[in-house]
Structure 1
Amino acid sequence: MNHHLAQRKIDIDTRLVTAGAVLTVAGTVVACTGMVIAAGALLAAGRRMVRAMDVPPSQQAAQQWRRAKEASMAGLQAWQSAADAANGSPAR
């Protein structure tokens, strides 16, 4: 039985394995380099866009937040007024 196991060998061509590993590493390096270049280009474009804005994004966000809070309060007051009117209570 051991005689049959000793005859089973895996014949691996190490040159092909080495070539595959080298190509994989080279491809990874090229892909990572491409991603870094693309990310740099996108960041630069984003910075240019922000610099060209009349109102900075932080101020735009603050304005929108303020508007949303005001709209929410107006909606709440309208809902309470409608509920009071439906119940026959005087308006606030």
Structure 2
Amino acid sequence: MNHHLTQHKIDIDTRLVTTGAVLTVAGTVVAGTGMIIAAIAVLSAGRRLVRTMDVPPSQQAAQQWRRAKEASLAGLQAWQSTSDAQNGSPTR
């Protein structure tokens, strides 16, 4: 029995691989540049918006925090007074 072993060789066109790699890098650079430009535009618009506000965002956040604490306290007091009334305890 005579076995003839043939070697198969992959023939890759290195010019095409190189061209594909170069185009991939170029596309990545273009996409990255586009994302940076878009981010700069969005951040600039945000800064302009903040500058035109009557009340700065930090003060708005502090006001909302105070309101939330007051609402929470009011809810707690209402719950306690309802609970005390159901248990027959005098209300505070």
Same-fold status (TM-score > 0.5): yes
What is the count of residue pairs matched by the alignment? 90
1:21 aligns with 2:15: no
1:57 aligns with 2:57: yes
- Please report how far the alpha carbon of residue 3 of structure 1 lies from its aligned counterpart in structure 2 after TM superposition: 4.3
In the alignment, structure 1 segments of 5+ residues that lack a partner are none
Percent identity (aligned): 80
Structure 1 partner of 2:46: 46
Q: Distance in 1 between matches of 2:12 and 2:26?
A: 22
Q: Which amino acid aligns with 1:67?
A: R
Structure 1 partner of 2:67: 67
Q: Secondary structure at the match of 1:91?
A: coil
Greater helix content: 1
Q: Distance in 1 between matches of 2:73 and 2:42?
A: 39
TM-score of the aligned structures, taking structure 2 as reference length = 0.93
- Please report how far the alpha carbon of residue 2 of structure 1 lies from its aligned counterpart in structure 2 after TM superposition: 8.9
Give structure 1 regions of 4+ aligned residues with deviation exceeding 2 angstroms: 1-4
TM-score of the aligned structures, taking structure 1 as reference length = 0.93
